[in-house]
Structure 1
Amino acid sequence: MTDAKYSPQFWTSVANTCKGNDAVVFDLFNEPYPEMAANWDKTAGWQCWRDGGTCTGIPYEVAGMQDLVDAVRSTGATNVLTLGGLEWANDLREWLKYKPTDPLNNLAVSWHAYSNNACASETCWDTQVAPIAQQFPIVLGEFGQEGCGFDYMQRLANWSDAHNISYLPWTWTPWGCVHGAVLIKDWNGTPEPGIGEGYKAHLLTQDPYRIRQPIT
């Protein structure tokens, strides 16, 4: 988790710089995993995630998500704030219960879902993610597949389309598949076989002007 000594200062600075430009979205902390330090205690993890302070197994004072939301809003910034759940942002089960208070109620969920994560099936997405999508926007800020295949990613993209969830795959770099899911073979944007070609083909089936249904 993020350090209370510096992170609220950082977000105050960023918010002061970017406020007035609501096209900028703030992802407050990438891939939290406080329950790991707490011997896999999810309750302690979610409490640390939201409230910060002295957290089990973490040797510094933590700035919780509430602290970071407060830091941004204290500047008058109205930007959308995205908050990832536990377990590298893959576990959203208690997100609604522990979500911070935002006076603007302008929060979104940051979700990461790789093929080797715990929540990697339609059953899990239906039970853990879909109910949240009925109440808050979800941005699938990272998703990918081991071995640079595309079958898992195709299922997830199709599921996300059906649930009005936006998505950004990992990653636009020519590292080669030995370093994980990569979309391109070179900086000219040549699609990597499997993952890159599959994702490009999927995007070509989408209507970029489709208006998503409002969340009510």
Structure 2
Amino acid sequence: MRYVRWIALAAVLVLVSSGAIYAQMREPTPTGGVVDTGAPRPVVDGNRIVDARDGLPWVPRGVNWSSFEYACAQGWGMSALDTTGDQDQYDREAEVIADWGVNTVRLPLNQDCWLGTRGAPVSDQFDERTPSDYRADVADFVSSLNRAGIVVVLDLHSRKRMGQPEFGNVAMPDSQSLTFWRSVARDYAHNPSVMFDAFNEPYSRYNPTGSKLVFDLTWKCWRDGGCQAPVEDDQTATQGRVTYTVQGMASVVAEIRDAGAAQPILLGGLDYSNDLSHWLQFAPDDDQLVASFHSYDFKDCASQKCWDEVIAPIADRVPVLTGELGADDPTGGYVSDYLAWADAHDIGSLFWVWADHPSDPMALVRNESGSPTAYGALARRYLREAANS
């Protein structure tokens, strides 16, 4: 584990309703300086995220924008927009998202498409696609979102599936995940309006019948790595006979910092980022960490009792962000109940998912122009009210 190196740049005078207080703001100072993106500059300050531009508390609220994690592995484009070379299309998409009151967008990425490993990105018969193309498309959309006043969370979400066109999640980072983060962090170290999500959803694995635990992810391995996880992703049955050596969250954090990036890093817990029970005990040493909680009604921590007993004490110590929020029936009450609880604890939420997937009850939109589904209407109303409060 390594301590983050920060340079205190200035003492910022912050005015609040109870009077004037002084806050010592620390901004990241990566090699090459910090660019002015026009979007908030999130910095962890105790158990809050603040905007380094003015030192005021800033709560991330927004959506997950899905497709960078799978389109490039399916061979039909880099993202849902397939906009290689068309910045205007990303600009229009960012404007539509911003109109909902969004201040944060989480972008799930594909490790193999970024690195060019395991045959990714996949090209169709008409167009050759390269890792450089993929990285350029991601950069174009990040720039568009930032210009629209939106912070971006870059998330290591998936890899290209072995022998399959779809995407899949392995249980924990592997050695190439460190290469991925070294590259991503180097590319975005200068951008203060970007945060990093170290690994989407860590998990344990059972055999195909569910009768035997073949990989038990412990909190120690979550932090330190070294255990052996099945090579198969979570869309592929496994007996756990062929494994790889897990890289822990401490190594991922160190890789990002060693690449010169000082921005906040999100760390999801066990059980697909739904179990944060020992997050405080095992979090790596770093003063810019955010606990990422994935809240769904079909997971174990789906009651106010769990939120009060597990999530709230963490939020008293470090910022908590609901990196994904959804439900089997997202208009059935669970999402609204969670949002009310999260707001009372200054916990931001990112809705899953901004995608026009007709068969998915959690799809927020019906088309690229942002026409909302019933769930989308709920999300848009909440986001606009939060933005105007």
2:315 to 104, 116, 133: 133
How big is the shift at 1:40?
8.2
For residue 205 of structure 1, report the CA deviation from its aligned partner: 2.8
Counterpart check, 1:146 vs 2:328: yes
Question: Aligned partners of 2:246 and 2:285: how far apart in 1?
Answer: 18
- Is 2:218 the counterpart of 1:45? yes
Q: 2:174 corresponds to which residue?
A: 3
- Specify which of 333, 341, 355 is matched with residue 159 of structure 1: 341
Of 258, 269, 276, 1:74 maps to 258
The residue matched to 2:194 in structure 1 has which SS? coil
Correspondence for 2:377: 197
1:185 is aligned, of 346, 356, 366, to 366
Where do 1:7-26 residues align within 5 Å?
A: 7-26=177-196
- Unpaired stretches in structure 2, ≥5 consecutive residues: 1-171, 231-239
Between the aligned partners of 1:93 and 1:100, the Cα distance in structure 2 is: 15
Q: How much has 1:186 moved relative to structure 2?
A: 2.2
Aligned to 2:245: 61
- The verdict on how the C-alpha distance between 1:200 and 1:70 changes in structure 2, with shifts beyond 3 A counting, is same
User: Normalising by the residue count of structure 2, what TM-score does the alignment of the two structures yield?
Assistant: 0.49
Q: Which amino acid aligns with 1:186?
A: N
Question: Separation in 2 of the partners of 1:28 and 1:56?
Answer: 17
* 1:118 to 2:289 alignment: no
Q: Distance in 2 between matches of 1:84 and 1:74?
A: 21
Structure 1 residues 19, 78: closer, same or farther in 2, change over 3 A?
same
In structure 1, C-alpha distance between the alignment counterparts of 2:288 and 2:322, rounded to whole Å: 17
The 1-side partners of 2:341 and 2:260 are apart by: 36
User: Considering only aligned residues, what root-mean-square deviation do their CA atoms show, in Å?
Assistant: 2.1
Q: Which residue of 2 aligns with 1:214?
A: none
1:32 aligns with 2:202: yes
Give, in angstroms, the shift of residue 192 of structure 1: 1.1
1:92 to 249, 266, 276: 276
| 2:294 partner SS | strand
1:73 and 1:49 map into 2 onto residues whose CA distance is 18
Structure 1 gaps, min length 5: 211-216
1:15, CA displacement in angstroms? 1.2
Question: CA–CA distance in 1 between the matches of 2:205 and 2:277?
Answer: 14
Deviates more, 1:16-25 or 1:81-90: 16-25
Task: Give the superposition deviation at 1:150.
Answer: 4.5
CA contact 2:224–2:250 (8 Å) conserved in 1: yes
Paired with 1:123 and 1:65, the residues of 2 have a C-alpha distance of 28
Q: Give secondary structure in 1 for the equivalent of 2:245.
A: coil
Q: What TM-score, normalized by structure 1, do the two folds share?
A: 0.86
Task: Give per-residue Cα distances to partners, 1:90-129, cap 9 Å, x unaligned.
Answer: 1100100110122xx1110111001111111111101110
**8 Å CA contact 1:28, 1:83 repeated in 2:** yes
- Which amino acid is 2:342 matched to? S
Structure 1 residue 41: deviation in Å?
8.1
* Runs of 4 or more consecutive aligned structure 1 residues displaced over 6 Å after TM superposition: none
